[in-house]
């Protein structure tokens, strides 16, 4: 998602320097006006605002503190981490950067690559409300930003978002199987309930993926599991019982363990089909 976000910022007239572990991915942005850095420390040199979009907390920690970014940042710079990571890690990053005179905003996003391309991301920002307000012009090309609380609050809201996404994907997949078993068309079922109480972005995008059996990511199943594992860890901290989340987490855990981690998370349908095939349910595609 980082590439389309960078394109949106460039199109809005912001000077953007980009870095990626795979330099080829960064070089693509040169055609859109991006300056290419050879290292993350070079990318942030002199920057007022730094965006990170990385796979997990370990990757963000590595880039910020092992690869020299924190030391290269000027005092007063703002780091906006749009990655999805555990809230305690985000708060730790904020504390360490504050010691260096750098502001940290955890601002994970939802909307996928489609939303990043269109500039319609939902941005959940945790940290200083005044700083978030000052960055409104920068956030505007990316989507709609909402300040949700102090440091780490953006990440806890993103985890809640991922709960809803995962559980809804599971619900849509199970519904697809039910209607087909009952003799109805999955495609027509999806069309029929659009605009009703079951309407959702998941039904729109991922329901269509299930109809088309197009599971090219999108959102990787292994990253969906990573977020659900983080939800489980926070639920333990808060002493919460989240049975629906626990069930869908187990389903994704099995699906990923069977070698499907690089498929889109809507491909959970394949896991449910496999379970039912084992039980002898009819599948007209076999």
| Measured distance CA(143)–CA(109) in Å, rounded | 9
Token code pair at residue 164: 């809803």
Catalytic-role residue among 7, 158, 188, 279: 158
Beta strand pairing status for 109-110 and 121-126? antiparallel
Residue 25 is among the residues annotated as catalytic for this protein: no
Angle made by CA atoms 137, 57, 218, in degrees to the nearest 5: 70
SS3 content of the chain, % helix, strand, coil (to 5): 60, 10, 30
| Measured distance CA(108)–CA(53) in Å, rounded | 9
- Per residue, the 3-state secondary structure of 201-252, as one string, reads HHHHHHHHHHHHCCCCCCCEHHHHHHHHHHHHHHHHHHCCCCHHHHHHHHHH
| Measured distance CA(133)–CA(140) in Å, rounded | 11
So which residues are the catalytic ones? 158
């Amino acid at each position: 998602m980082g590439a389309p976000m960078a394109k949106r910022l460039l199109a809005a007239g912001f000077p953007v320097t980009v870095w990626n572990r795979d330099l080829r991915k960064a070089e693509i942005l040169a055609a859109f006006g991006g300056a290419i850095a050879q290292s993350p420390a070079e990318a942030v040199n002199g920057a007022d605002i730094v965006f990170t979009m990385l796979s997990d907390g370990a990757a963000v920690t590595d880039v910020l503190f092992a690869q020299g970014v924190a030391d290269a940042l000027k005092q007063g710079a703002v780091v906006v981490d749009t990655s999805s990571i555990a809230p305690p890690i985000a708060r730790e990053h904020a504390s360490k950067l504050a010691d260096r005179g750098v502001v940290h905003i955890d601002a994970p996003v939802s909307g996928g690559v489609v939303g990043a391309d269109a500039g319609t991301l939902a941005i959940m920002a945790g940290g200083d409300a005044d700083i978030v307000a000052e960055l409104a012009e920068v956030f505007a090309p990316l989507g709609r930003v909402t300040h949700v609380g102090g440091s780490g609050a953006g990440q806890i809201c993103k985890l809640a978002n991922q709960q809803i996404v995962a559980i809804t994907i599971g619900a849509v997949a199970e519904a697809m199987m039910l209607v087909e078993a009952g003799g109805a068309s999955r495609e027509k079922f999806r069309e029929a309930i659009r605009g009703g109480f079951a309407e959702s972005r998941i039904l729109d995008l991922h329901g269509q993926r299930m109809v088309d059996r197009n599971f090219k990511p999108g959102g990787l199943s292994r990253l969906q599991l990573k977020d659900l594992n983080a939800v489980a860890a926070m639920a333990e901290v808060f002493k919460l019982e989240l049975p629906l989340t626990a069930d869908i987490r187990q389903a994704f855990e099995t699906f990923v363990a069977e070698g499907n981690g690089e498929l889109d998370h809507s491909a959970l349908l394949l896991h449910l089909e496999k379970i039912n095939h084992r039980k002898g349910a009819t599948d007209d595609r076999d």
